[in-house]
Structure 1
Amino acid sequence: MSSKDRLAIFPSRGAQMLMKARLKGAQKGHSLLKKKADALQMRFRMILSKIIETKTLMGEIMREAAFSLAEAKYATGDFNQVVLQNVTKAQIKVRTKKDNVAGVTLPIFEFYQDGSDSYGFTGLARGGQQVTKLKTNYQNAVKLLVELASLQTSFVTLDEVIKVTNRRVNAIEHVIIPRIECTVAYIISELDELEREEFYRLKKIQDKKKISRAKADAAKAILKEQGRLLELQEEEEERNMLDQKDEDILF
Structure 2
Amino acid sequence: MSGKDRIDIFPSRMAQTIMKARLKGAQTGRNLLKKKSDALSMRFRQILRKIIETKTKMGEVMREAAFSLAEAKFTAGDFSTTVIQNVNKAQVKVRAKKDNVAGVTLPVFEHYQEGGDSYELTGLARGGEQLSRLKRNYARAVELLVELASLQTSFVTLDEAIKITNRRVNAIEHVTHFTHHPIYSVPLWPCLCPPM
Q: Distance in 2 between matches of 1:111 and 1:3?
A: 60
Aligned position for 1:78: 78
Residues 12 and 187, structure 1, Cα contact 8 Å, conserved in 2: no
- Return the alpha-carbon distance in structure 2 between the equivalents of residues 101 and 6 of structure 1: 38
**May I ask how many residue pairs the two structures share in their alignment?**
188
Alpha-carbon distance in structure 2 between the residues aligned to 1:190 and 1:140: 66
Structure-2-length-normalised TM-score: 0.90
Using the alignment, how far apart are the partners of 2:41 and 2:15 within structure 1?
Answer: 38
Supply the distance in 2 between the matched residues of 1:188 and 1:178 (Cα, whole angstroms). Answer: 18
Please give the secondary structure, in 2, of the residue aligned with 1:188: coil
Q: Which has the higher helix share?
A: 1
Cα distance in 1 for residues equivalent to 2:51 and 2:17: 50
8 A Cα contact 1:91 1:114, kept in partner: yes
Cα distance in 2 for residues equivalent to 1:34 and 1:92: 41
Give the % identical residues: 71
Question: What SS class does the counterpart of residue 160 from structure 1 fall into?
Answer: helix
Corresponding position of 2:47: 47
Shift of 1:179: 5.2
Asked if the contact 1:61–1:141 (Cα under 8 Å) also holds between the matched residues in 2, the reply is: yes
Cα RMSD between the aligned structures? 1.8
Give me the TM-score of the superposition, normalised by structure 1. Answer: 0.71
Q: Equivalents in 2 of 1:4, 1:186: separation in Å?
A: 17
* 2:70 is the alignment partner of 1:93: no
What amino acid sits opposite 1:142 in the alignment?
Answer: V
1:126 paired residue number: 126
Higher relative contact order (CA 8 A, sep 6+): 2
Partner residue in 1 for 2:177 = 178
Shift of 1:84: 1.0
Distance 2:160 2:6 in 1: 31
Contact 2:37-2:165 within 8 A present in 1 as well: yes
Question: Which residue number in structure 2 is paired with residue 188 of structure 1?
Answer: 190
CA distance in 1, matches of 2:192, 2:74: 91
Match for 2:39: what amino acid?
A: A
User: SS where residue 108 of structure 1 aligns?
Assistant: strand
The answer to whether the 8 A contact 1:16-1:187 is kept is: no
Distance in 2, matches of 1:93 and 1:66, equals: 22
Distance 1:121 1:158 in 2: 45
Per-residue deviation, residues 27-70 of structure 1 (Å, max 9, x unmatched): 00011111111111011011001101100110010010000000
SS at match of 2:190: helix
Paired with 2:82 and 2:120, the residues of 1 have a C-alpha distance of: 11
CA contact (8 A) 2:98 2:106 kept: yes
Gaps of 5+ in 2: none
Q: Distance in 2 between matches of 1:68 and 1:190?
A: 76
Corresponding residue number in structure 2 for 1:205: none
